[in-house]
Structure 1
Amino acid sequence: MAVSAFDLLDLDSLLTDEERDVRALVRRVADDRVRPYVADWYERGEVPVRDLALEFGKLGLLGMHLKGYGCAGSSAVAYGLACLEMEAADSGVRSLISVQGSLAMYAIWRYGSEEQKQCWLPGMAAGELIGCFGLTEPDHGSDPAAMATRARRDGADWILTGGKMWITNAPVADVAVIWARAEEGVVGFAVPTDTPGFAAREVRHKMSLRASATGEITLDEVRLPEAARLPDARGLKAPLSCLTEARFGIVWGSLGAARDCLDTAIAYAGSREQFGRPIAGFQLTQAKFADMALELQKGYLLAMHLGRRHDAVGLRPEQVSAGKLNNVREAIAIARQCRTILGANGVSGEYPIMRHANNLESVLTYEGTSEIHQLVLGQQLTGLSAFAG
């Protein structure tokens, strides 16, 4: 009798009843609200962000790991499971949840004033307001310390000038968390997107994360009051801590894409006959399945360990780097291998595997490329930084 990959090691036994309930809820939402439509969204390069945000907000999925201000206050493991189940449907839709909760909301929750939190977080938790996180620039991706966006004082106000690129949710956002360099160092702002001088242009012709709204932000002498500055954000460590928060969700989410690819390939191999029998019965196919299932389970155990530590004592950035590096790298390898099992059908939009593989190309890069995470781990192992030479 066939079992699912996670059943091989009885990994469900690691979860609490509450965590299983969260997983079941998000899986049901993904099955009902995302899976039937996502292939069409992906093909058209459009996604109903606001409709989805409202539905996710009603279920408490936005900023679900934060406390107060309408947020659910769930455990890190529960949040990770939510990311896994949503990314099993699509990485781009999962990124809506991650950017909203772990980047935009987290930045305001962690570094904002009480007035900013009261102004933005309840509406964002409900999905009534959409947020984005502007750190990456056209010429500065892996090196945010070199950002060109500037913030200068003008009397009691601030003036922002510059641009951000590859910003998820930017085309539909109500508030943008923008990071800029000022005389005192890196500072952050909660910028209402209807502020004069702020513009967001949707990035078109993407071959990956097509079921996600991605934008380029232009800041043309955007005037903001002091009340828009995040008062507790001092230096580059502030935005980097937000990236660490978001990377944790990716550690889990990437496993969802990999699981969906493997489930699809196993089901396909069981019904696809060549040489008089199902291809699932061939030794080479079973060897592929065995190797992929092992990597998937090892990635899950790594994610679970990091999740339990996150809930108990917190995580160091390099620990999250280890999870992101391993799990995304293995997830994309699983997607590519599963594509080979489906043969030519593997590139068809009728099946989710090529869509997952294309999406994972972006997941491999954003929130820190594999090379950046290798250097983070290398610095921890050697005590020497290889980032500047």
Structure 2
Amino acid sequence: MDPSDLADVLASVRTFIRNEVVPLEEKIDAEDAVPPEIVAACKAMGLYGFAIPEEHGGLGLSMTEEVQLAFELGWTTPALRSLFGTNNGIAGQVLITGGTEEQRRDWLPRLASGEVTASFGLTEADAGSDPSTLSTSARRDGTDWVINGSKRYITNSPLADVIMVFARTDPDAPGNRGISTFLVPAGTPGLGIGPRDHKMGQFGAWTADVHLDDVRVPADALVGGEDGLHRGFVTAARCLAHGRVHIAALCVGMAARLVQESVEFASTREQGGKAIASFQLIQGLIADSVTDHYAGRATVLEVARAYDAGTDRIQGPSAAKYFASEMVGRVADRAVQIHGGAGYMRGVPVERFYRDARLFRIYEGTSQIQQVIIARQALGKAARG
């Protein structure tokens, strides 16, 4: 994208978030829903397709451009980004990286416009960060595929129009081999969505279990066609690497908001007749958070550049996601501490962000999974004994 066009997009999103979304944060948290007018505005702004190629109706942002947008999105409740995150991220990337040209033409324009919402159906009760134990199965029946199994914590599944379902198509293949991906539209007989999960935080971002009971889909539902058979793990890995850089940037944006909340509170809250900002121990907490934010932002921008160059799409994304998700947790904790008792009260932004931030260390691969990926990339064969 032309730099001036990107600047316009970022400015528009910044204004929208700070003027329209931030005043609604408490309402979104209390009602566990994003108001329809905000959803409509996101569609009109092209946010449902920021990472989808221009030829398919999206904005076609590079990773370096996308993380700058995510910095802005991180300023407010994660529920906003969750509305369109799967379309651009882990679900949409399934088609961008692994779909046939026909599948891309059919689905991507509708994802980009927001006409269709997609979900990424990988996680199971016994197969989370490591999909090698995935048990959902798909077997051929004539020219169709029949899918059976269950998925857990699937983002946007209660409102999804299509779910990218990962299933084992070769039961004899070891580990992460023999897994394929299928496009399963909502309303397909045998596809069931459980009740919405009641989470610790990130209210307004909906997740639920997905159940597949003899779900029958045609041959063209296999992502990538016959060339995509048994390549589901490769597709998932690529999608998750993209998502990790994005989530890292989102954490940086949230850290920026937490720093501002901390600075504003410390500058106005008085103890003993003077602002607590004059206390050196408070200054130390804020200095640590400012430094964390700087480090996270620099890391994400460098990793995004390497991702765009194609020089690192494994270790860098994991390192960025690991550092930034842990970093924002520290910044959120300090923000609550700076606020004192007020920081523990509902209705105070830092209390809500403290709950929201905790999930970043879990999804798109836990911090422990990122450690394994980073170490194995650094150590090579030695890491495997």
Same fold (TM over 0.5): yes
SS for the counterpart of 2:346 is: coil
* Contact 1:156/1:226 (<8 A) preserved: yes
* Contact 1:26/1:85 (<8 A) preserved: yes
For 1:314 and 1:343, locate their aligned partners in 2 and report how far apart those are by CA, in whole Å.
Answer: 45
* Contact 1:47/1:213 (<8 A) preserved: no
For 1:364 and 1:238, locate their aligned partners in 2 and report how far apart those are by CA, in whole Å.
Answer: 22
Report percent identity of matched pairs: 33
For 1:385 and 1:352, locate their aligned partners in 2 and report how far apart those are by CA, in whole Å.
Answer: 46
For 1:265 and 1:71, locate their aligned partners in 2 and report how far apart those are by CA, in whole Å.
Answer: 36
Q: Which residue of 2 aligns with 1:179?
A: 166
Q: Which residue of 2 aligns with 1:339?
A: 336
Q: Which residue of 2 aligns with 1:11?
A: none
SS for the counterpart of 1:88 is: coil
* Contact 1:54/1:126 (<8 A) preserved: no
For 1:202 and 1:87, locate their aligned partners in 2 and report how far apart those are by CA, in whole Å.
Answer: 27
Q: Which amino acid aligns with 2:57?
A: G
1:356 aligns to 2:353 (yes or no): yes
For 1:46 and 1:307, locate their aligned partners in 2 and report how far apart those are by CA, in whole Å.
Answer: 31
Q: Which residue of 1 aligns with 2:184?
A: 191
For 2:128 and 2:382, locate their aligned partners in 1 and report how far apart those are by CA, in whole Å.
Answer: 18
SS for the counterpart of 2:138 is: strand
1:259 offset after TM fit, Å? 1.1
Q: Which residue of 2 aligns with 1:144?
A: 131
1:52 offset after TM fit, Å? 4.2
Among 238, 253, 257, which residue is 1:256 paired with? 253
Q: Which residue of 2 aligns with 1:210?
A: 203
1:18 offset after TM fit, Å? 4.3
Among 69, 72, 88, which residue is 1:101 paired with? 88
Gaps of 5+ in 2: none
For 1:264 and 1:340, locate their aligned partners in 2 and report how far apart those are by CA, in whole Å.
Answer: 12
1:221 aligns to 2:218 (yes or no): no
Q: Which residue of 1 aligns with 2:241?
A: 244
1:46 offset after TM fit, Å? 2.6
Q: Which residue of 1 aligns with 2:24?
A: 37
For 1:16 and 1:295, locate their aligned partners in 2 and report how far apart those are by CA, in whole Å.
Answer: 27
* Contact 1:92/1:359 (<8 A) preserved: no
SS for the counterpart of 1:72 is: coil
* Contact 1:63/1:106 (<8 A) preserved: no
Equivalent runs, 1:149-164 vs 2, <5 Å: 149-164=136-151
1:360 offset after TM fit, Å? 1.3
SS for the counterpart of 1:236 is: helix
TM-score, normalised with respect to structure 1 = 0.91
The count of residues paired between Structure 1 and Structure 2 equals 373
1:56 aligns to 2:56 (yes or no): no
Q: Which residue of 2 aligns with 1:26?
A: 13
For 1:277 and 1:20, locate their aligned partners in 2 and report how far apart those are by CA, in whole Å.
Answer: 40
Shift of the 308–95 alpha-carbon distance from structure 1 to 2, 3 Å rule, reads: same
> Deviations for 1:81-131, whole angstroms, at most 9, x for unmatched residues?
221211210123223332121111111122122222222211111111111
1:188 offset after TM fit, Å? 0.5
SS for the counterpart of 2:148 is: strand
Q: Which amino acid aligns with 1:331?
A: V
For 1:202 and 1:128, locate their aligned partners in 2 and report how far apart those are by CA, in whole Å.
Answer: 23
* Contact 2:119/2:160 (<8 A) preserved: yes
1:91 aligns to 2:98 (yes or no): no
Q: Which residue of 1 aligns with 2:313?
A: 316
> Deviations for 1:188-233, whole angstroms, at most 9, x for unmatched residues?
0111111111111233321121120111100010000001110253
For 2:341 and 2:260, locate their aligned partners in 1 and report how far apart those are by CA, in whole Å.
Answer: 18
For 1:201 and 1:385, locate their aligned partners in 2 and report how far apart those are by CA, in whole Å.
Answer: 43
Q: For structure 1, which segment, 79-88 or 297-306, has the greater mean C-alpha deviation from structure 2 after superposition?
A: 79-88
Q: For structure 1, which segment, 184-193 or 269-278, has the greater mean C-alpha deviation from structure 2 after superposition?
A: 184-193
Shift of the 331–139 alpha-carbon distance from structure 1 to 2, 3 Å rule, reads: same
1:178 offset after TM fit, Å? 0.6
For 1:352 and 1:129, locate their aligned partners in 2 and report how far apart those are by CA, in whole Å.
Answer: 31
Q: Which amino acid aligns with 2:320?
A: G
Shift of the 44–223 alpha-carbon distance from structure 1 to 2, 3 Å rule, reads: same
RMSD: 1.9
For 1:349 and 1:77, locate their aligned partners in 2 and report how far apart those are by CA, in whole Å.
Answer: 35
> Deviations for 1:221-252, whole angstroms, at most 9, x for unmatched residues?
00000011102531411111111111110110
TM-score, normalised with respect to structure 2 = 0.92
Q: For structure 1, which segment, 364-373 or 23-32, has the greater mean C-alpha deviation from structure 2 after superposition?
A: 23-32
* Contact 2:168/2:179 (<8 A) preserved: yes
Q: For structure 1, which segment, 37-46 or 237-246, has the greater mean C-alpha deviation from structure 2 after superposition?
A: 37-46
For 1:159 and 1:102, locate their aligned partners in 2 and report how far apart those are by CA, in whole Å.
Answer: 26
